[in-house]
Amino acid sequence: MTDVTLAPGGWVIAKDMGDDAADVQRVLAGDVDAYSALVDRYYDRCARFAIRMLGNRDDAEDALQATFLRAYRALNRYQERDRFSAWLYRILVNQCRSVAARRAHRDRVFVREEALLLNAPDTSPGWSGEDEEFVQRVLAELEPLLREAFLLKYIEEMSYEEMSALTGVGVSALKMRVKRACDRLRERWERIKND
C-alpha cells in the first residue's frame, strides 16, 4: 500500500499521482483488485472528511460507499490530466451534500456517541474523547456550506484554487465562507469566555 504524502500547499505528491494512474489503468484492463489499492490509499482520508462533515458513522459510511462505487462506475471517464484525489474528492463532497440533504428529511439529531466511538485513541497528553466529542459538536453547529469550506481549508489543507476546482464555487466566495466559519467559532469562544 502506498501512503498518501502531502505536499506543501497541495494534496498529493507526483509519485502518488503516478500510482493512481497506474491503478486506474489496471482496473480498466480488468484487474478489479487494483481498485482496492485506490480504496486503501484514500479511504481513511475520505472517512475523516465525511465524519467531520456529517457527524455520524452511518451517514459517513453511506457517503463513502456511494463515493467509491460512483468513482468505480465512472472510472473510464476519469482523465489522467486531473489528479485522481481531486476527482474523488469532488465526488465525495457531492455525496456528503446529498446524504446531508436526505438526512434533513429524517432528523437533525447529531449523534455524539457515534462520533465518539469512531475516533482513534491518541496517546498525546491532554487529549480525551471529550475533546473529540466537543469538536464534532462545534463543527455541527456551523452551517453546512461554512463547515464544508472550513474542513476543506483547514482539515484537508487545500488551497483556495483547489477548493474552487472541487466545488465549482469562486475563490472569493470560498474565502468568505472560511472567514465566516472562523468568525462563528471565534464568537462561540467569546460566548464561552463570558459565561
CB-nearer residue toward another protein: 12 or 60: 60
Q: Per rule CB under 8 A, is residue 98 in the interface with another protein?
A: yes
Regarding 183 and contact with another protein (CB under 8 A), the answer is yes
Q: Provide the b/e sequence for 83-112 (b: ≥16 CB within 10 Å).
A: bbbbbbbbbbbbbbbebbeebeeeeeeebb
Q: How far is the CB of 18 from another protein (least distance, A)?
A: 19
Q: Which of residues 46-85 bind another protein (CB under 8 A)?
A: 47-48, 51-52, 57, 60-61, 64-70, 72-77, 79, 81
Query: Closest separation between CB of residue 74 and another protein, Å?
Result: 5
Residue 143 in the binding site for another protein (CB under 8 A):
yes
Q: How far is CA 42 from CA 82, 88, 146, 175, 189, in A?
A: 16, 9, 24, 26, 33
Q: 115, 123 in Cβ contact below 8 A?
A: no
- Return the half-sphere exposure (C-beta side, CA atoms, 13 A cut-off) of residue 107: 6
Q: Which of residues 17-36 bind another protein (CB under 8 A)?
A: 27-30, 32, 35-36
